[in-house]
Amino acid sequence: MTVTDFTVRTAEGERSLSDYAGQVLLIVNVASKCGFTPQYAGLEALYRQYGPRGFTVLGFPCNQFGAQEPGDAAEIANFCTTSYDVTFPIFAKVEVNGADADPLYDYLKTGAPGVLGSKAIKWNFTKFLVDRTGRPVRRYAPTTKPEELAAEIEALL
């Protein structure tokens, strides 16, 4: 099993991640009202820089941490485009921890565990780097700025 075997929800319905087969991916649980929200700008910069070479950022809004993503799909999309000119895909809201965690996130957490092997995601803007084969390579803490990932993205491209 790889990331490309999953189907995820969008504002319009469902989308198979097989659409991203062969690409390097950065999968991020995002929120509009978080101290890390300005990272949208860095994520968009990575997407614009490396997108032509087969790289995509996938944003998954999540309201599990401090209720920092309260909006509906339309409000989230509007915020992302008007505040940060986001052009990378933003999917439907998901849960990343607990019994209702999206299966994609269960897979990512197992494939790229956190510190000391922990599975739980600690906060918004946790990032998972996925190689071209669809396997998670590394998890990054919310405090890791998107620009700090450039060298590792380059290596996978």
Question: Could you tell me whether strands 24-30 and 55-61 are parallel, antiparallel, or unpaired per DSSP bridges?
Answer: parallel
pTM score of the predicted model: 0.96
Instruction: Decide which of 2.60.120.10, 3.30.379.10, 3.40.30.10, 3.10.180.10 is the CATH code for 3-156.
Output: 3.40.30.10
Each domain of the chain, given as residue ranges in start order, spans 3-156
Q: Where are the alpha helices (DSSP H) in 30-130?
A: 39-50, 73-84, 103-111
Tokens matching residue 10? 């969008």
Helix, strand, or coil (residue 150): helix
Contact call for residues 20 and 54 (beta carbons, < 8 A) = no
34 is catalytic: yes
Gap between the Cα atoms of 47 and 64, Å rounded = 25
pLDDT tens over the chain, length 157 residues: 999 999 999 878 899 999 999 999 999 999 999 999 999 999 999 999 999 999 999 999 999 999 999 988 889 988 999 999 999 999 999 999 999 999 999 999 999 998 888 899 999 999 999 999 999 999 999 999 999 999 999 999 9
Sign of the Cα pseudo-torsion (106, 111, 115, 118, in order): positive
List the catalytic residue out of 34, 86, 104, 156. 34
